[in-house]
Structure formats: C-alpha cells, structure tokens
Amino acid sequence: MKDLFKPIPLSISAISLACLSLGNLLQMHSILLKHLLSILGILIYIIYILKYIFSYQDALVQLKDPTVFSLLPTFSMATMLLADYLFDYIGNITFYLWLFGLILNLLIYLAFIYKYILHYNKDTMYPTFFVSVVGFVIASVTGPTFNQILLGQILFYIGLLGYTLILILMIRYILTHPPYPSGTNLTMAIFCAPVALLITGYTSVFDTLYYPLLIPLVIIEIITYLYVIIQVILPNLFKSYYPTLSAFTFPLVISATAFTRLGIIFLPENSFLFYPIYLTHLIALIAVITVIYKFIKALYIKK
C-alpha cells in the first residue's frame, strides 16, 4: 500500500476541491454531471487522506515545500464543500463536518501567518499563498446552507484584507525577481482564484451589494482570468506533467462560478451574455478532466 500512495502529490487536494466545486456549478446543466463530479471529488478526497496514512513520511517531506504547505487549505475547503453536498442527504449533522473543515482551515491559516508572514522573507513568495489567506472564504459560500450568514460576512472581510496584503507582496515580488522556474510558474494560474472566491462569497452572504467594493473586484477578476487563460493555461495545459498542474483546476472553476453568480444577479434571463459565461464552464471542465488524466498517466500508467 505504501508504494501505491507514495507517488501521489499532496496537491491532489486541489483537484478534489475543484471537482466538488465544478459539480455544484454544472448542476444548472445536468444533475447527473453534478453527482459524477462530486463522487469523483469524494474519491480523490479519500485518496488524499490515505496518502497521510500509508505514506506519512513522504507527506511530511512534501510539506516542507512552501507551495505545498500553502495549498493545505484546499483539503479543508473541500471538507466544507463536501458537507454542503451531503446536507441534502443526511441533513443538519453535516454542520459538524462543515465546522471541522472551517476550524481546520483557520488553524492552517494561523500556521501560515506565523510561518510565512510573521517570519516574512521577501525572496519566498508564491501565488499559492493566496490560498492560505483567502481559502476560508469558502465558508461564506457554503455558510448559508447552515444559516451561518454573519460568520460568512466576517470571514469575507478577513479574506479581503488577506488578499490585499498578499497581492501587494506578490506584485512587489514579481517586479523585483526573475520569473518562476518551470513547474512553479504554473501556480500563476491561482491569481484569478482569490478574487473570484471573494466575489462568490460576497454575493452569497450579503443581500445589499456595495458597488464601490464589488466593481473593482469584478474588474480585477476579469483581468486576472484573461491573463491566466492566455498566458498560463493555453501554453501549458497540454504539455508536460507537473504536480503543480493542480493549480489549473479550482481557479478556473471558482472563476466560472463567480461569473455565473454575477450573471444571475445582474443579467436579464436568457441574455446572450450568458454564452461567454457558459464558455467559462466548458473551459473549467476541460481543464479539470485534462489535469486528472495527466495525473493518472504520470503516476500509474507505464510508458
């Protein structure tokens, strides 16, 4: 069993998160697709847990990498989405699973703050850091299921502050350092994820939207999404395998989710402007399927 799980990178938790999120998004097109993606996300979620059980030492080695450590919240984020998915089947008991995911996420957040913010190193800065300081805003997205509106609002503002801080540090790093090497450069796809998560969380827990706050977020999201698609996804999705390819999954899914949420709120029903939004759904689906295939091929299919 150890040999089976040793090759698995901890970054697969991001793919589990992406599958669960994509299932929620695509239910507007197909309930069957929602369940298939959710089941796939749950299977990857279980594999991630088994990785720690059967290959604990290798997992600890991977966590020494800042990009891997800062992706830890994707597991707790997936836990909250899993609780939201199971709510329809087993009811309020899933609140405790959701709460566990949130507490775990906040603990990882505090560990990240201690390790990489209080002991800040200007030469150690990666796009994955956004995940650690904004990831818990998934509680704002899923919180309404468990009547946790106020908590979701508070977490949104904390996430917004964290995003602003890391964005400033990231821009400073990019302007003063050479480009990331191959593999690490793929994490630039994460740039469109935090603001998309903030938009989705904001529109989930606030009935009255403050446009001077929302409009800049939307503009940033459009710019970063187009940058990620043109400069990161298209040149790299169908090329060499890297564990960091998992960064191509959730950012595209949550971006498509944010665009969909905005479309439902602001566009007339059946508006032709929904077609570009549906295109983001297709892009996210293609990216998730392609990355899963690349992981399976690289890890287990003999050449």
pLDDT in tens, 138-184: 999 999 999 999 999 999 999 999 999 999 999 999 999 999 998 89
DSSP code of 137? G
Q: Are 265 and 3 in contact (CB under 8 A)?
A: no
**Strands, E assignment, 119-183:** none
Q: What is the pLDDT of residue 154?
A: 97
**In this structure, are residues 24 and 81 in contact, taking their beta carbons and an 8 Å threshold?**
yes
* Angstrom distance (rounded) from CA 275 to CA 267: 12
- Supply the mean pLDDT for the chain: 94
In whole angstroms, give the CA distance from residue 64 to residue 255. Answer: 29
On whether the CB atoms of residues 277 and 270 are closer than 8 A, the answer is no
Query: DSSP states of 243-262 as a string?
Result: GGGGGGTHHHHHHHHHHHHH
**Would you tell me how many other CB atoms lie within 10 Å of the CB of residue 263?**
18
Cα(227)–Cα(225) distance, integer angstroms? 5
pLDDT of amino acid 270:
85
- Mean pLDDT lowest among 79-83, 192-196, 242-246, 280-284: 242-246
Would you state the structure tokens that stand for residue 186, as one six-digit string? 């793929």
- The pLDDT of residue 302 is above 70: no
In the predicted structure, residue 242 carries a pLDDT above the cut 80: yes
pLDDT at 301: 74
CA distance 181 to 273: 38
Instruction: Say how far apart CA 287 and CA 228 lie, in whole Å.
Output: 12
Q: The tokens of 78 are what?
A: 């997936």
Q: How confident is the model at residue 269 (pLDDT cuts 50, 70, 90)?
A: confident
Residue 299 is predicted with a pLDDT of 83
- pLDDT of 44 reads 96
pLDDT at residue number 166: 95
- Note whether 113 and 172 are within 8 A (CB): no
To the nearest whole percent, how much of the chain has pLDDT over 90?
Answer: 89
Domains of the chain listed by start with CATH number: 2-300 (1.50.10.150)
pLDDT at 303: 47
pLDDT tens for each residue of 1-37:
777 888 899 999 999 999 999 999 999 999 999 999 9
